[in-house]
Amino acid sequence: MSSHSPAKFTPVAIGLHWIMAAGLALAFGVGQYMSGLELSPWKLKIYTWHKWLGVTLFLLVWMRMAWRSTHRPPALPATMNRRLQKLTEIAHRALYVLMVLIPLTGWLHSSAAGVSVVYFNLLPLPNLVPKDKALSHLFETLHQALNWTLLVLVLGHVAAAFKHQFVDRDQLMARMRP
């Protein structure tokens, strides 16, 4: 293994990365769990928690993008070819786009279903569209499809990180370790 110590992301970037990773995993898991439940007070409570988590992640991704816009990430290893570096950049941009679109489509789905989002039962968020059953179904379908797309990209991201760690041995993962 190389003794080269790669430049690290800032502690704020590292913290936001891992908080988002845990939050996304939790939101996806809760979403899968709640979709199989029969209508009940428990299901409604789980939906509420899922929405709170989605709004939190929506706010955090904007914080993360603001931080990243003012704090340049460390350079990729010089051993990575240009094509792979470009693919990495595209994949990261796609992850950010999905992290914005997924909670937004969830919010649009709730609005179109006529079920307002009230963040932590304190802050009512505006309905983004009028109540419309067909539109609600469209946004629900889009929300689910985007989540599955995110899962595939995240799995690719994790696989690439493991490849760098265990095959390339370039210590790329050390950049994001707390």
Residue 102 lies in a domain: yes
Residue ranges making up the domain that contains 124: 11-176
pLDDT of residue 79: 84
- For the stretch 123-177, pLDDT in tens is 999 999 999 999 999 999 999 999 999 999 999 999 999 998 899 888 888 899 9
Any domain includes 93: yes
Provide the β-strand partners of residue 124.
118
Number of structural domains found in the chain: 1
CA atoms within 13 A on the CB side of 161: 13
Does residue 2 lie within any of the structural domains?
Answer: no
For residue 3, being part of any structural domain is answered with no
List the CATH number of the domain containing 165.
1.20.950
Residue 4 resides in a domain: no
